Chains A and B, each alone.
Chain A
């Protein structure tokens, strides 16, 4: 018996939606195995990991707080990936946006008022865009592989952040702790619910979802992205420039990552610290693919991945499990989504060996 993949004439619309669900289901099955191997009661662990975070009001708010940056970054990345450009460095652009956006509350703490926050958000976007422009320009000018350059720039940005909060931007009244001063109230994201942590960043997420949805479905810009991603030669034939598209998608995804970065430090964190993200920029890659590179899918997938963060924390507390378990699930999920996506264009066929009258048993060929 042999398993064969047979190409479908048209792609399967059912599998477009079923593939991520299948991937989540297989991930859960493997999760049971992992929990059992670690000596925990699999059902209890599953409950703590994936259900309990949804049962309390505060943790639902926390889910939104985590989903905001992941989703926003993933929406930007989806444009890159659809155009066949590989920005892996959103974590760095997130950090760059956070640093540049923090310029006002840290360097000019005396400036307060309603204009501070918009200025910070703008500079956050600008920081992410500038940082994303580096790998884009390197690719256009020198043909440098953007996967490598964008990824390596992540570590540069993180070290820059580390140095800046220990050095020039350290809080003068902070007893030497490596942190910036706490942002003024006017430099912080307004909350959606009093006393919670859920902030208006959620609005930006919905705006981004709607804008990208419309852009991809209806406009010539979205059409260019899809054409260049699916058939570069046809894109050139249509008169679309691959280089311009590389720059455009890097700027958009970098800008959204930068916005997510400044909203994170102006929101839940409230100051700059050596570490401001538990890997949101990398998790967003998983979200983009789990969400089918479609804005609505990404919105849903963003909440699913946010749940793994909360579940990971809960399992750490309740079961004493390492937070690396959460990382394992995230990696498994990405792996399985990509594997299941094969089923969109191929179907599985079982082939039985047929007897060859002249030789031994051979497999039928198709």
Chain B
């Protein structure tokens, strides 16, 4: 069957035709109520055999709830699920698997210290022997174009390979329907293409796929049919190949998303505001990445994007620039010409830098503290009004919360809730807004729109562009290549702790960046 894989990979994808058959799985009037919230409101969904069916929607649209119901992890308040036309009750994930429904989760559940075969053995019914299972794994992985060595230790595998383990584990149960939750969010473009080839083989064999994704371009590319959710209701069904990405996005958010204003600029003469010079740091813990002679110059008015696959040193680079981890050399990091490599994060903030980490809860904000207290978290040293001789001025911190709320349209139930009570998108708007409100000279932001809905993402990206236009320098570290391409004036790629030479966005193609993300082509460089 590997021939089939090659064939699919070689040829351009042709237009897809939705199979004309009775639905394999049908959800009729699914409603799920949590307290006062109607997470799903009379949802109808029909998945035909052999189709890739996209489930689109913003965060909080009800996708996860619906998927959990289909996979038996939640019970609907009302409505019916039909399997091959027969009403069924899916009482548990085990029951879903017995029916023939498998799921590949966004976050993997694998034991790092065990081999591929051992991880799979834990999840599937016992086989005759380990060798029999290993042989079965090899057959399935060859059949579907998922190269995998059953004897590899999971810790040594790349993210893409780990996902293959999850998919093979799912396939060994001979599913008729596979649910995939944001499968490409952690993959390089090349790895994503390999995944799409596997999906092609699967649907050619009559398996159905329910495909959940934010990425409209790939939905257009691979899906036969799309169901779009908003506020727990189905707001549309369409053939995604016939719609533009903008049209799909506006269906999802219920309004036309305003296009970002601002084009890529080249600023060779602007003063350097942030410089990182020959920065090397050993890994802080055994699972971290060492920074290897990293260097970059960030000029006033520019946005520099750092692309890369998760776990290639982004966290470590962020920590080294923010000062959460100090360097040995003072000139490893300079802010507006002042060396501060050996100084901590507070000193760097006082020099005009601001930081937004990837993790909102627990890193960028204290979950069980109020927003007004979370304002103090990053601004206690730079805002004189926030404290008088060691006593926190609550009025002043509430004032900042109000300003950020207004500017970034942060939606919250009470004037000053705990951070954990905000939805992901609103908390992200708050965390980014808290720093932009300072009008920092330098902003280093990691994953600015991770898990944020399209509307909030547009607000945040526009705010970053506006800040750069006002003369600040912005460093965006992101795994979302679309975001990097949209925002950045120049782009560098981080791979295994090495940073490539930044190049103007206009000169780069998506494929070039993808290869660099995979560690191919232009490697790291030293100054």
Contacts and interface: CB of A to CB of B under 8 A. Distances in A.
Contacts of A192: none
A237 B364 contact: yes
A274 B520 CA distance: 73
Interface stretch (B116-124, B236-244, B266-274, B416-424): B416-424
Contact of A237 (B73, B91, B363): B363
Contacts of B357: 237
B211 interface: no
Nearest to B322: A237
A356 B369 contact: no
A362 interface: yes
Interface in A36-61: none
Given A10-B417, A237-B322, A356-B95, A219 B392 contact: yes
Interface size class of A (residues with CB under 8 A): 20 to 34
A356 B392 CA distance: 57
A186 to B, nearest CB: 37
A10 B391 contact: no
Interface in B400-425: 417-418, 420-421
A145 interface: no
A114 interface: no
A297 B409 CA distance: 39
B250 interface: no
A365 B368 CA distance: 27
Given A220-B392, A362-B94, A364-B75, A237 B380 contact: no
B15 interface: no
Interface in A215-240: 218-221, 223, 226-227, 230-231, 233-234, 236-239
Nearest to A217: B392
B316 interface: no
A265 B139 CA distance: 80
B392 A358 contact: no
Nearest to B88: A357
B324 interface: yes
A359 B95 contact: yes
Contacts, number: 101
Contact of A220 (B89, B92, B344, B387): B387
B392 A230 contact: no
A352 to B, nearest CB: 12
Contacts of B369: 226-227, 230
Contacts of A14: none
Given A11-B368, A233-B359, A233-B362, A359 B378 contact: no
Interface string A124-136: 0000000000000
Interface string A344-366: 00000000001111110011111
Contact of A358 (B95, B367, B380): B95
B324 A365 contact: no
A193 interface: no
Interface string B342-361: 00111001000001010100
B91 A239 contact: no
Interface string A237-264: 1110000000000000000000000000
Contacts of B417: 10
A239 B346 contact: yes
Contact of A356 (B92, B376, B418): B92
Nearest to A364: B75
B78 interface: no
B373 A354 contact: no
B98 A358 contact: yes
Give the residue among A226, A234, A366 with the most B Cβ atoms within 10 A: A234
Contacts of B349: 239
Contacts of A11: 368, 418
Nearest to B75: A364
Contact of B363 (A10, A220, A234, A354): A234
B377 interface: yes
Interface string B384-396: 0001001110000
A362 B421 CA distance: 32
B388 to A, nearest CB: 10
A223 B378 CA distance: 12
Nearest to B421: A10
Interface string A286-310: 0000000000000000000000000
B365 interface: yes
A366 B74 contact: yes
B381 interface: yes
B366 A227 contact: yes
Given A230-B368, A234-B363, A223 B94 contact: no
A9 interface: yes
B91 A354 contact: yes
Contact of A223 (B99, B359, B364, B376): B376
B93 interface: yes
A237 B345 contact: yes
Contacts of B376: 220, 223
B129 to A, nearest CB: 26
Contacts of A236: 324, 345
Interface string B67-102: 000001111000000000000110111110011000
A357 B83 CA distance: 13
Contact of B93 (A9, A231, A365): A365
A9 B421 CA distance: 6
25 contacts: A10-B417, A11-B418, A218-B392, A220-B387, A220-B390, A223-B376, A223-B392, A227-B366, A227-B369, A227-B377, A231-B367, A234-B365, A236-B345, A237-B357, A237-B363, A237-B378, A239-B323, A239-B349, A354-B75, A354-B91, A356-B89, A358-B95, A359-B94, A362-B92, A366-B73
The 4 closest A-B pairs by CB, nearest first: A239-B346, A356-B91, A231-B366, A239-B345
Given A238-B378, A239-B344, 13 more contacts: A218-B392, A219-B390, A230-B366, A231-B362, A231-B363, A234-B362, A234-B364, A237-B363, A237-B364, A238-B345, A238-B380, A356-B95, A365-B74
Interface of B: 72-75, 88-89, 91-95, 98-99, 322-324, 344-346, 349, 355, 357, 359, 362-369, 373, 376-378, 380-381, 387, 390-392, 417-418, 420-421
